[in-house]
Structure 1
């Protein structure tokens, strides 16, 4: 039977990892809410446009997040200086091909999303969406950069 000395560190580790995951989910939800508010203001969608746009955009955004964070995370772990100094040419070529495939998947996802948007939004609003997304992420990066300077 496990004693307290064995259970406590495991419980602490589990609690910390659970809290960290919740914290990441909370941050993601906060960013998503800020993004929705920002895009809503910038795009000035009609009620009919919004009803069709948001389900399409949310599905696109979730899939994009999945590709970027789930697939790219595996690449990041293999891109440390130490790992790159030890990687064989064959493994490097495989990794590069996997990265290219993920980039291609993101490109095709965006292309399909834009094609679907054309059926519900005028071209001008699609261009505004692209610009607004860039502006949002620029502001977000600036905000996090400013926070880091205050510490």
Structure 2
């Protein structure tokens, strides 16, 4: 039993390391994809990426902390959920949605001093294209495994 625990810990840490490397690789691909599609100048890129990374961090925190916590509570308590508790959850959900909307509108507002309007519009399309490509790649790899 004592020999199994270090092996389990090693496998767990290897899995976390692999996930971290995959996230970093995907992030690098996204940076390259966006830079190329938006045809960012060096000056634009220097100002754009810190702002974009801060926006991504903020929206990720909202998605993974607030939305996921609400979803988890709904799933765990769906059978015993009272109307009063459901109202509380709806209020939290609305508050998280408003935070997400504010983050997006603030981001676009901050971008207006860095990028021309056309590139700001193209950013949304480019992000959607990247997500689509990633999903297609995921489906392709999953199909290859099966």
Q: TM-score, normalised by structure 1?
A: 0.83
Aligned Cα root-mean-square deviation (Å) = 2.0
Report the counterpart of residue 85 of structure 1 in structure 2. 79
Structure 1: distance between partners of 2:67 and 2:7: 29
**Structure 2 residue 114 is the aligned partner of structure 1 residue 120:** yes
Q: 1:31 aligns with which of 26, 32, 37?
A: 26
**Structure 2 residue 39 is the aligned partner of structure 1 residue 44:** yes
Q: What displacement does 1:114 show?
A: 0.4
Q: What displacement does 1:30 show?
A: 1.8
Structure 1: distance between partners of 2:101 and 2:120: 16
Q: What displacement does 1:11 show?
A: 4.3
**Structure 2 residue 70 is the aligned partner of structure 1 residue 71:** no
Report the counterpart of residue 131 of structure 2 in structure 1. 137
**Structure 2 residue 96 is the aligned partner of structure 1 residue 107:** no
Structure 1: distance between partners of 2:87 and 2:8: 37
Report the counterpart of residue 94 of structure 1 in structure 2. 88
Q: TM-score, normalised by structure 2?
A: 0.86
Q: What displacement does 1:25 show?
A: 2.3
Question: Greater shift after overlay, 28-37 or 16-25?
Answer: 16-25
Q: What are the ranges of 5 or more consecutive residues in structure 1 without an aligned counterpart?
A: none
Q: What are the ranges of 5 or more consecutive residues in structure 2 without an aligned counterpart?
A: none
Structure 2: distance between partners of 1:39 and 1:88: 45
Aligned residues: 145
Q: What displacement does 1:58 show?
A: 1.0
Q: Map Cα deviations across residues 28-65 of structure 1 (whole Å, 9 max, x no partner).
A: 21221111011011000111111111111111111111
Change (3 A) 1:78 1:129: same
Q: What displacement does 1:74 show?
A: 1.4
